[in-house]
Chains A and B, each alone.
Chain A
Amino acid sequence: MSLRRPAKNQPETFEFSSSSMEEANKIVLKYPEGKQQSAVMALLYIAQKQNDNWIPLAAMKYIAKFLDMPYIKVYEVATFYTMYNLSPVGKYFVQVCTTTPCMIRGANKLVEACKEKISDKENELSNDKSCSWMEVECLGACVNAPMMQINDDYYEDLDKEKTIEIFEKILKGEYPKPGSYRGRLNTEPENNRKTLMDLKNA
């Protein structure tokens, strides 16, 4: 695991937008009075979403004040969990699964596509600063391997060409359709097979 430390260039201020604020208040209400600190993880995630997928120090301070807890306690949580990004990752944050099932089905082709289209190295912003990619461990969609996650959406059943297609779309600012790219509905069996009954050796 790589060192997870805050980025050098930090914005000076951070504030919840009105929609984030609404969401945050809703979460804080779930906890008894005086125990609002429990909401820290959810609030960090809200801040991350609002701030193009990464959490600046100003946001940690803001959340610490929001929940009335010491700065260091928020900082501890943010540095502990790998799904909080502490440096800019771009508006489109691509996570490519490279765990065994995806790897067997050709995840390294997806990585190649990332290198070609986004940036040479992991965690590096693309030229237009809108996008970055990283390898991650299993995202739990092995049936649709190989796959990747862009922000909140899964793009499944990929190969190199389809991945490049997707990247070209997002780099143009379009929103590619999530889900299977071999025309499957969710994880349904391919070739119209609905059960395993007609398989000889099953």
Chain B
Amino acid sequence: MPKLKVNDIEVVVEDGLTVLQACEKAGAEIPRFCYHEKLSIAGNCRMCLVEMEKSPKPIASCAMPAAEGMNIKTNTPFVEKARKGVMEFLLANHPLDCPVCDQGGECDLQDQSMFYGVDKSRFKENKRAVPEKHMGPLIKTQMTRCIHCTRCVRFATEVAGVSELGAIGRGEDMQITTYLEQSMQSELSANVIDLCPVGALTSKPYVFEARPWELKKTETVDVMDAVGSNVRVDTYDWEVKRILPIINEDINEEWISDKTRYACDGLLNQRLDKPFIKYNGKFEEASWSEVFKIIKSKFENSSNDKVCGFVGDLTNMETGYIFKEFFDRTLNNNNYDSRSDNRFLDNSERENYIFNSSINGIEDADLIFLIGANPRYEATILNARIRKAFVNNNTKVISLNDVGDLTYPYKNLDGQTQTIKKIFEGSEEISKEIIGASSPMIIIGESLLKLNSAEHLFHLIKNFLKKNNKFTEDWNPLNILSCDAATVGNLDLGILNNEKNLLEELKSNKFEIVFLVGQDNLKFNKKNEFVIYQGSHGDKGAEIADIILPGSAYTEQNGYFTNLEGKIQKAYKASYPPGEAKEDWQIINELAEVMNNRKLFNDIEELKSSMFNYLKLQQKKTNI
């Protein structure tokens, strides 16, 4: 633990930290371009120069390890002169096109030139011009603006694990590009846009859409996968202009997947903005009171046990809870489920359906066994964490199937269920490896749970781990990789029916009324069922509906989501639902009022406290 002085303030830092980190600890801000705490150190922008006692030259603080007895100064004229010199070189070839640059207003170079820039240029020669590089449909390049910090190259190589970016040529002729200008093939590629300290890499779909200061920023969570990445939603009036990551070290660190980032364009199209009724196979606009009246008469004309309901993959927990209450209290039946396929689930214990080792736990694991899961596409951010574990700890990864490139090497087995059986009966080499590992992780994907033998296999795996004392106080090796944002929340709320197989009954057309809340994945042949669809988008669910109730998307209402590790997070309202659409919980509440003359809940606060009471009771039951 070296002790050093920064601007006469004494700081003690951990071994292996750099002078820059020590300065930050002492409260001195250091300008930087190439340094990024999640990436390796390059030391090539030279912006972080500081003065060190006994050193005749300024030192690059990002690359200098903090050592005992150093005396660092960050605010002397010497330092300022050095940084001004660096800035002059950076600006020598940088175009003065801030007014037409998408980075304007949130540009590191722009900000820092306010402190260290000189108001006129001494550079009389022609500026370097670099042709635009093609990097695919998401990343727009304007390489003349590039200052060669190589953050993007390091990100692609280290974090994304797809070495596609590189710096070709050298000196003034150096250019950042992909190999022969091919598109970037990583699902984390758009993070280089956030990393770029200048406007060289910007977002192609967002090009010239808005200026950062015009946007309303709402910090919320993402629902595109079950990881629950923390994001910032930027809106201009109603429209969601872009989605950016925010830092949450326990979940997404600093990255989000491209799906998360660019799903927002779907919020503009195919929206359900008015209630619709289907007459003779054609949808016609209607008013809320009309549709509620029709629904009421339909419910009255059929017996309650002929009604079933399904909630979807992106609904928040409030909606799920009031949906359940609607069935329990208004309809007096429990024909509801949140699953759209026949997957095995034993919800007697919470650990049977969540990612128990936690995302942070991945870095502590010494053996990861993927069964029927492809984390790269099912939970991109989680896959990045596995890669991080591989890079830092050389964690061994085994996969039952060959799932293609996961960005880290893994051993793949033959993909047979027989192999799972053999392994967890303890007769294979891998069985011994699992027994020998101090903190193994078994990651079970949804495709395993959909097998007919899922129940047997699941218990076999769990019992094997129990028998070999892999469940300890601070380690739980059993992990279920859910794919959808609402899955774990809905299961916590008990939105499932274990008594009968609703899907089979639905397929054999036993129901008269089907109530779908954001559920588009059901496969059944519609006969005489009356289908009510509540949701935000006109998708498959709306197509088969007889009545459409326009709901809200995840950016348009407050709501809780539980991510795959069982962490509950709140999504905040960034925009409002379009047209006459309402928030999802409200619709069901009003429907209940029409049917029984009594609302289920007086307001959202009552709903929330009721929901949390239920969750607390549930948690007591399942020992968590």
Task: Point out which of B165, B170, B179 has the most chain A C-beta atoms below 10 A from its C-beta.
Answer: B179
- Within the complex, the shortest CB–CB distance from A81 to chain B, in Å, comes to 8
How long is the Cα–Cα vector from A84 to B180 in the complex, in angstroms? 18
B167 interfacial by beta-carbon distance below 8 Å: yes
Contacts of A1 in B (CB 8 A): 171, 173
A57 to chain B: closest residue by CB: B180
Whether A72 pairs with B169 at a CB distance below 8 angstroms is no
A80 to chain B: closest residue by CB: B170
B156 to chain A: closest residue by CB: A72
Whether A3 pairs with B164 at a CB distance below 8 angstroms is no
Whether B166 pairs with A73 at a CB distance below 8 angstroms is yes
Task: Encode B165-191 as 1/0 by CB contact (under 8 A) with A.
Answer: 111111101000011100000000000
B618 interfacial by beta-carbon distance below 8 Å: no
B169 to chain A: closest residue by CB: A79
- Within the complex, the shortest CB–CB distance from A44 to chain B, in Å, comes to 14
Q: A57-B180, A72-B178, A72-B179 are in contact. Are A3 and B173 (CB under 8 A)?
A: yes
B165 to chain A: closest residue by CB: A72
Contacts of B166 in A (CB 8 A): 70, 72-73, 75-76
B569 interfacial by beta-carbon distance below 8 Å: no
Among A3, A4, A71, which residue has its beta carbon within 8 angstroms of that of B179? A71
How long is the Cα–Cα vector from A25 to B15 in the complex, in angstroms? 42
Whether B169 pairs with A3 at a CB distance below 8 angstroms is yes
Contacts of A76 in B (CB 8 A): 166-168
Task: Encode B479-517 as 1/0 by CB contact (under 8 A) with A.
Answer: 000000000000000000000000000000000000000
How long is the Cα–Cα vector from A3 to B171 in the complex, in angstroms? 11
- Within the complex, the shortest CB–CB distance from B410 to chain A, in Å, comes to 16
Whether B163 pairs with A4 at a CB distance below 8 angstroms is no
Contacts of A79 in B (CB 8 A): 168-170
- Within the complex, the shortest CB–CB distance from A11 to chain B, in Å, comes to 15
- Within the complex, the shortest CB–CB distance from A36 to chain B, in Å, comes to 15
- A67-95 interface (Cβ within 8 A of B): 69-73, 75-76, 79-80
Contacts of A4 in B (CB 8 A): 169, 173
Contacts of B170 in A (CB 8 A): 79-80
Among A3, A57, A73, which residue has its beta carbon within 8 angstroms of that of B163? A73
Q: A57-B180, A79-B168 are in contact. Are A72 and B173 (CB under 8 A)?
A: no
Task: Encode B135-169 as 1/0 by CB contact (under 8 A) with A.
Answer: 00000000000000000000000000001111111
B164 to chain A: closest residue by CB: A72
B175 to chain A: closest residue by CB: A79
Which A positions have Cβ atoms within 8 angstroms of B? 1, 3-4, 57, 69-73, 75-76, 79-80
Q: 9 closest A-B pairs (Cβ-Cβ)?
A: A70-B163, A72-B166, A79-B168, A72-B179, A71-B179, A76-B166, A80-B170, A79-B169, A76-B168
Given pairs A1-B171, A4-B169, A4-B173, 15 additional interface contacts (CB within 8 A): A69-B163, A70-B163, A70-B164, A71-B179, A72-B164, A72-B165, A72-B166, A72-B178, A72-B179, A75-B166, A75-B179, A76-B166, A79-B169, A80-B168, A80-B170
